Structure 1
């Protein structure tokens, strides 16, 4: 009997040694200045004032504060069971991010093969984020406020994908690829609210290139409505809002297109490193097709029909001044071709930043962003500036500055 107990204990210890669970997280906090923040929108037009605030990284910094658990179990023969649970929070008040979801950033479980890649199930990032994001300045040093206007192409992963089946390939001499499919879950309609994406990345020494595609049916619900506090009916507008006499407008860049039957994102990025300098470029084409679908998508107060098309181009540069100090600069040009003769707008944005690493886990940083808008926005009004994560401006231009600190654990 003692011998059997010892054997059982030995087997349990061996099994435990093959499993691993890691607690991880990020805390990103900083001081933000905004040159113009809407405080009201009376009939005469928006009014606003400058704003000073403390903000979590999720709205103004390099990365949202978060904590999580990830684990794996070696099953033998090159096969591993894996899981990832990750939730965002606001360090200023302790509330949960992503609409109050406990694990709103990612939550999945799956299997990984050394030879064949990984299949995971749950709430996950799409292929645009997985493959193209790393080439954008926002992912490197520009942060959330340095994202493309309205995060029009989701390159700072404003939107996560629920109910998703995802495949990720192994690294094949610098080439990785994969795809994702999200089930809509609507009885009697397989295609409604479904989403799929695919992409690749190739990296070889100093050169890298990536491209990805995303297609979302009924995007007001399937793509923009994936957080717990978002609207769950077609009467809601998860794209944004027109504001009121007492509230600022939200995401005027695309708030008028909630009735789209389909959203499509095509994105590509590349970079080339020369010594301590890296030159990069990103392009995206975003289309909201089938506008006017109020039956299964969302509201259409302006009576749009057809499609609205956004083209965005970014040029970025970073320089590793010392092993601990990084500097960057970027320019972004976004054009909305409008829909039904309305909503033609141009957004131009410049940003610069410095990131100084005090250690492997802790860094301090500075980001400065300027945005200028012209034309007519998606709400049929004179376009206003709206730096990502910040309150809309009361005019066609806006400046955001952040001084932050980030700690990883």
Structure 2
């Protein structure tokens, strides 16, 4: 009886929405795979992994035509762990996204709520780590530049996105700390611009977070959004790609400055790696990272793709110059428009980092740290979109 009433209520709600020239869409993506790693915390491992390449999510999005080129919009989305059903963002009903806003056809879109940052929106799609043909495992060390898809989500965010003018799009954002008497602590702001015309795509952006991970605010540790706990994090990025027939080739550069870093999170274990941590050393002081990525995707057939990426990351940390080499190779085959299978391998090596620091341990994105300077992972999985 209860199920019948719920069904009747939903039917009435959607019918009313349709009558008002509105739409509500249920959507999602599920990614699951087996991952072999040669070294995680000193041991090789086989794991059934949730989201080796893309976050598994489900959500609702909708719009209402208000007339005169004006629309009301909303999106609520949750990311989850397919292997055990747990929330990916702990304690958040809609941890991936939760926002409402207005879209004007001639003037752009203004949204309010929990959202991805503007640089992730516009520069991220030019990287291998943002796309299904590379994904989370291909992320830059420690996900230091926020360019991996669906990684860092900002609370209390107001974001503006312009219409597209002759291929040009602009976005800007401000994420409030929401702290009385402490307005500047754990807030964030940024801007990004992109240009897409024919085979050419270009984008650039800047993002600054003051006090990320320090209690509540724009970026928190409570829901595992924060990658670093620091006094300040600043990120510049620039990228482009070119498509010629079945081939797309791209180059991306990003520069990250982390001031007075206290620690970083190991994404595979959810463990905070800071002062006194026995598993992977310490992190403290200022950290500078430049990421140089080259990527390539080749569609052998409409269903079969091969892709690869190489990123060199140059660092500066307390008088040392650590460097990371990260390489990714993937092949994927789609058996329908919504379902595909993939095999992906990732290699990472770090050198020049001071011993006893977390930087001296290789750590492929989404995995726990290696006990050495090298880590290798191979994933075989399935993705289904709906």
Q: What TM-score does the superposition give when structure 1 sets the normalisation length?
A: 0.81
1:167 maps onto 2:199 in alignment: no
Listed one character per residue, the Cα deviations across residues 168-212 of structure 1 (whole Å, up to 9, x for unaligned) are: 111112111111101111212322211001001101111110001
Kindly indicate whether the alpha-carbon contact (under 8 Å) linking 1:159 and 1:223 is maintained by their aligned counterparts in 2: no
Aligned to 1:126: 117
CA distance in 2, matches of 1:82, 1:262: 32
1:79 maps onto 2:58 in alignment: no
- Structure 1 residue 328, shift from structure 2 partner: 0.7
Aligned to 2:298: 319
Matches within 5 A, 1:4-403: 16-38=19-41, 48-57=42-51, 60-61=52-53, 63-140=54-131, 141-156=133-148, 157-221=150-214, 225-226=219-220, 228-229=222-223, 239=227, 258=229, 260-289=230-259, 304-305=284-285, 307-339=286-318, 341=319, 344-376=321-353, 380=357, 383-403=360-380
CA distance in 1, matches of 2:91, 2:358: 32
- Report the 3-state secondary structure (helix = DSSP H, G, I; strand = E; otherwise coil) of the residue aligned with 2:130: helix
CA distance in 2, matches of 1:384, 1:291: 17
Q: 1:189 to 1:15 in 2, by over 3 A?
A: same
CA distance in 2, matches of 1:299, 1:149: 16
CA distance in 2, matches of 1:334, 1:161: 25
Q: 1:18 to 1:361 in 2, by over 3 A?
A: same
Kindly indicate whether the alpha-carbon contact (under 8 Å) linking 2:57 and 2:78 is maintained by their aligned counterparts in 1: yes
Aligned to 1:247: none
Kindly indicate whether the alpha-carbon contact (under 8 Å) linking 1:357 and 1:363 is maintained by their aligned counterparts in 2: yes
Q: 1:381 to 1:321 in 2, by over 3 A?
A: closer
CA distance in 2, matches of 1:303, 1:325: 42
- Report the 3-state secondary structure (helix = DSSP H, G, I; strand = E; otherwise coil) of the residue aligned with 2:239: strand
- Structure 1 residue 289, shift from structure 2 partner: 2.5
Listed one character per residue, the Cα deviations across residues 320-378 of structure 1 (whole Å, up to 9, x for unaligned) are: 11011111111101111113x25x31110111101111111111111110101112259
Kindly indicate whether the alpha-carbon contact (under 8 Å) linking 1:375 and 1:382 is maintained by their aligned counterparts in 2: no
Structure 1, 93-102 or 122-131: larger mean CA deviation: 93-102
- Report the 3-state secondary structure (helix = DSSP H, G, I; strand = E; otherwise coil) of the residue aligned with 2:348: strand
- List runs of 5+ in structure 2 lacking aligned partners: 1-11, 263-272, 277-281
Kindly indicate whether the alpha-carbon contact (under 8 Å) linking 1:319 and 1:326 is maintained by their aligned counterparts in 2: yes
- Report the 3-state secondary structure (helix = DSSP H, G, I; strand = E; otherwise coil) of the residue aligned with 1:220: coil
Q: Which has the larger radius of gyration?
A: 1
- Report the 3-state secondary structure (helix = DSSP H, G, I; strand = E; otherwise coil) of the residue aligned with 1:186: coil
- Structure 1 residue 230, shift from structure 2 partner: 5.1
- Structure 1 residue 139, shift from structure 2 partner: 2.3
Listed one character per residue, the Cα deviations across residues 16-46 of structure 1 (whole Å, up to 9, x for unaligned) are: 24111111111111111101111xxxxxxxx
- List runs of 5+ in structure 1 lacking aligned partners: 1-8, 39-47, 232-237, 240-254, 293-297
Q: What TM-score does the superposition give when structure 2 sets the normalisation length?
A: 0.86
CA distance in 1, matches of 2:247, 2:289: 30
Structure 1, 80-89 or 98-107: larger mean CA deviation: 98-107
